[in-house]
Amino acid sequence: MDIMTGAGLAGGLAVIVAMVLMGGDLHMFISEHAMIIIFGGSGAATMIRFPLSVLMHGLPLGMKFAFTMSRLSAHDLVDELARIAEIARKQGPVGLEKVETDEPFLAKGIRYVADGYDLDFIRDNLERDRDNFLLHLNEGSKIYRAVGDCAPAFGMIGTLIGMVQMFSNMSDPSKLGPFMATALLATLYGALVANLLCLPIADKLHTKLIDEETNRTLIIDGILMIRDSKSPTLVREMLLAYLPEKHRHAEGEPVPA
């Protein structure tokens, strides 16, 4: 679980609610009309921007990865692949059949090596799997960014609608307050949806896309070296290049060859 996403959302909502309650009643800030224009308008605009297949893949995948972390870090993967290389050197590919890992993508690569697939088959399939996954994750980031971009615009549209309604009913003072409230709340909702939810999630997904690309490429290189019967020491030293310079020597010594 990525606690920072949940903590950030909870903290942001707590600040907003606290400020609302310090200055009045929570019911003052609830408007069905503003919700309709923000969520309905943003949803409609997003449906126009993206095909249904992209929405079906991107939305759930984006929400899942916004609140979850990779099972293994890049450093953990280097250690894991060096350990697997040691097993393959001592027991051969058959020994990998009993290897267990928490990373599904790595498990797939291990299975390919254990089953004796050739190098090109393993490379092509793992790279295709990686590229498809990154494509869907990037689609998720684009969808949330699209919602974040258009929510404030629809907030402004809601404000303009409320202002038109207000000025059209100047003769009835009792209607001026509700129309003005709807106008202002539409802007508030649009700003909150964009800046507290959608744009931060889009940025989080972009960061995780970069991390996943690095980790999966690291796995592919490691699996190919294991399939090519490289020594555990060489596997580790080659894969340490994926780590930041300051972590390469501090986070682990080479496995004895």
Q: Where do the domains of the chain lie?
A: 30-75+118-243
* Residues 68-87 pLDDT 10s: 877 788 889 999 999 999 99
Q: What percent of the chain has pLDDT over 70?
A: 95
How high is the pLDDT of residue 175? Answer: 75
* Residues 196-225 pLDDT 10s: 999 999 999 999 999 999 999 999 999 999
Half-sphere exposure of 254 (CA within 13 A, CB side): 12
> Which of the residue ranges 15-19, 45-49, 124-128, 195-199 would you say has the lowest mean pLDDT?
15-19
Concatenating the DSSP letter of every residue in the chain gives --HHHHHHHHHHHHHHHHHHHHHS-GGGG--HHHHIIIIIHHHHHHHHHS-HHHHHHHHHHHHHHHS---SS-HHHHHHHHHHHHHHHHHH-GGGGGG---S-HHHHHHHHHHHTT--HHHHHHHHHHHHHHHHHHHHHHHHHHHHHHHHHHHHHHHHHHHHHHHHHHTTT-HHHHHHHHHHHHHHHHHHHHIIIIIIHHHHHHHHHHHHHHHHHHHHHHHHHHHHHTT--HHHHHHHHGGGS-HHHHTTT-PPPP-
Half-sphere exposure of 15 (CA within 13 A, CB side): 7
Task: Tell me the mean pLDDT in the region 119-138.
Answer: 95
pLDDT of 57 over the 50 cut: yes
pLDDT of 251 over the 50 cut: no
pLDDT of 49 over the 70 cut: yes
